[in-house]
Structure 1
Amino acid sequence: MAVPLVVGVDGSEASLEAVDWAVDEAVRHDVPLHLVHVAATEDGAGDPVAVASERANRNSSAVKLSSEVVHDDATSALVDRGRNAFALVVGSRGLGDLAGLLLGSVSLSVAAHADCPVVVVRGGAEHRAGQFGRVVVGVEEGEGSGTAVQFAFREAHARGSGLVAVHAWSVPVGNPGPPGLSGYALQATERPPAQVLDDALRGSAERYQDVPVSSQVVEGSARQALLAAASDADLLVVGARRRHGRVGLQLGLVNHAVLHHAPCPIVVVPQI
């Protein structure tokens, strides 16, 4: 039996936009859709689920749909259901979040603690509807990007989209090097940034040969490079390392920034 795509719903417009996105994703990957509403009280708890279910059925009658109402902490309930999920999908802001927050507290907490990929559905309608035909993946040095790259290739393949792989780098602080030696040449004495990108893409590129790939090696801020690349993308994919000896993921400053500011839906993929 296929594992489901799990969506958190709370009656907010953002969560309904997440349902819209998730329906398309479930059809794309031929997986069932499971709606989860975390209710604080018994009264009226089923209403958000009913509204979300009607919306999902209206978008596509082909999706196998199930739902449940849970009385628990929202983050704990969603993370628990993500342990056996294709991915977790949440809106960018829930009913209980303050208007000034760029990203809802539950969405951020779920992204930091889930065992499966977490999709935060945000951005304009054209981004959410997949009108650009581009998936962007951030690639970093080390082992934090392996599963993110695999996810991004699989997603681009399922969408029939192109893939843009972005690797940003900068000269190490306190290591200016000899006069006249460029930052890239300094890096080349260790591992050239272009090689970091090529090595990260090689395995998945061989598997998904139908996916057109463009590579961007950017000297400077990873945050700015990813947000710029995502400006005309349908999806931004980033990886997250597990924290040694602690529960949850090491999101880092870059992931926090793109979760709050990405102009399109963003996926945080845990490194396995």
Structure 2
Amino acid sequence: MAESVPILVGVDGSRSSNEAVRWAAATAERRHAPLHIVDAAFVEGRSGVPIGLPPAYLEEQEPERRRLLSDAATIAENAASAGALTISTELVPGNPSRVLVELSSAAQMVVVGSRGHGEITGGLVGSVSIAVAAHADCPVAVIREPSADRATSGDAVVVGVDGTPNSEPAIEEAFIEASLRGVELTAVHAWSDVSLSALRPHEPTFHWPTIQEREQAALSESLGGFADDYPDVTVRNVVVKDRPVDSLVELAAGAQLLVVGSRGRGGFARMLLGSTSRALLHRTTCPILIVRN
């Protein structure tokens, strides 16, 4: 970990954003990294007036957004247990998702709330968090409102492992987080990404004990080098037949963090978010870290 590279958190004053600030502050403190708090907004003299709003709108925006940044910095200070966290703030004119993606190249992690102000689609995850998770150059943590209270109460970090090199960046981040938090790492591997309910158990190609033994070996091989680098982390291997999303959601329900790659073994290079990571963004209730692969 590059200790001088900041943890970046995007804020907008929503409850979800405030939880993201608390989570980001705790993460930055564990990683001995500075915390950079960013608010992207329309600012007088540097942005055009949004359609349908009076010209005076921008005159009121900048002081309000700077107050929001100050409040976020106070939240971060209170969340840092040792009180030694380096915090900086920045007001950047522009679209929030575009700004955060542009700044992600100079961050070790971007943290966003699951939904901000103005998210009226009814979805569990807002458009900004999905866009940042899909396009950022570094890992992206998406935080739901209850997650800050659970950030130190769970007993594990959970990581999805598909048995291909695509999983390696996520595995490394998961070991880092488990080591820093002093908790167990639960590694989950599914033999199939699709439901096998239509496959008759007596067919010669389906002998689950044999398949399970083979997949356990493949999972251990995927984790081996990382386990050597982090001997302090206890690892629990979980192999399931199919439907990795269901298993990950279930195991992450009591976890501190869920870590997955942006694309799985079936993901095309042009896909920015695979079906598994996208589904988990909408279904998981704990903080989720999407790692570019």
TM-score (norm: length of structure 1): 0.90
**Do residues 49 (structure 1) and 69 (structure 2) align?**
yes
TM-aligned CA distance change 1:263 to 1:183, over 3 Å: farther
CA contact (8 A) 1:139 1:166 kept: yes
CA contact (8 A) 1:5 1:85 kept: yes
**Aligned residue in 1 for 2:140:** 118
The farther-off stretch of 223-232 and 118-127 is: 118-127
C-alpha distance in 1, partners of 2:169/2:252?
19
- State the secondary structure of the residue aligned to 1:90: strand
**By how many angstroms is 1:123 displaced?**
6.0
**Do residues 65 (structure 1) and 67 (structure 2) align?**
no
CA contact (8 A) 2:20 2:148 kept: no
**By how many angstroms is 1:220 displaced?**
2.0
TM-aligned CA distance change 1:192 to 1:251, over 3 Å: farther
Larger radius of gyration: 2
**By how many angstroms is 1:196 displaced?**
2.4
The farther-off stretch of 164-173 and 230-239 is: 164-173
C-alpha distance in 1, partners of 2:129/2:15?
14
TM-score (norm: length of structure 2): 0.83
**Do residues 78 (structure 1) and 100 (structure 2) align?**
yes
CA contact (8 A) 2:16 2:145 kept: no
The farther-off stretch of 67-76 and 2-11 is: 67-76
- State the secondary structure of the residue aligned to 2:290: strand
**Aligned residue in 1 for 2:222:** 200
CA contact (8 A) 1:240 1:250 kept: yes
Counterpart mapping for 1:72-221 below 5 A: 72-98=94-120, 100-122=122-144, 124-125=146-147, 128-170=150-192, 179-184=203-208, 192-221=214-243
C-alpha distance in 2, partners of 1:111/1:251?
8
**By how many angstroms is 1:54 displaced?**
1.5
CA contact (8 A) 2:20 2:112 kept: yes
TM-aligned CA distance change 1:177 to 1:113, over 3 Å: same
Q: Percent identity?
A: 40
- State the secondary structure of the residue aligned to 1:137: strand
- Aligned residue identity for 2:76: A
**Aligned residue in 1 for 2:25:** 23
**Do residues 260 (structure 1) and 282 (structure 2) align?**
yes
Q: Specify every segment of 5 or more residues in structure 2 that has no aligned partner in the other structure, as ranges.
A: 45-60
- State the secondary structure of the residue aligned to 1:63: coil
**By how many angstroms is 1:69 displaced?**
0.6
**By how many angstroms is 1:73 displaced?**
1.6
**Aligned residue in 2 for 1:3:** 5
CA contact (8 A) 2:147 2:287 kept: no
List structure 1 runs of 4+ shifted beyond 4 angstroms: 171-178, 185-188
